[in-house]
Amino acid sequence: MSTQGVLYVIAFILLVLAALPIPSRGFSLALFGAAFALLAYSWPVLTA
């Protein structure tokens, strides 16, 4: 699996966890998920 695929899988897992009623102190799982999704989306540009 490529690096971009791994980043998308991590983003998906974080966004699913953010939808669950799990208390997270001091950080947002949805924000981390969105950051990983943006990183995965821009990965080809960053590594070009």
How far is residue 48's CA from residue 46's CA, in Å, rounded to a whole number? 6
Q: What is the pLDDT of residue 14?
A: 94
Q: What is the pLDDT of residue 48?
A: 84
Contact 40, 4 (CB under 8 A): yes
Cβ neighbors of 14 (< 8 A, separation 6 or more) are 29, 30, 32, 33, 36
Examine the pLDDT at 38 and tell me if it is beyond 90: yes
Provide the whole-model pTM. 0.86
How far is residue 23's CA from residue 11's CA, in Å, rounded to a whole number? 18
User: Domain ranges in the chain?
Assistant: 3-46
Task: Compute the average pLDDT of residues 31-45.
Answer: 95
> pLDDT digits over 7-36, tens only?
999 999 999 999 999 887 888 999 999 999
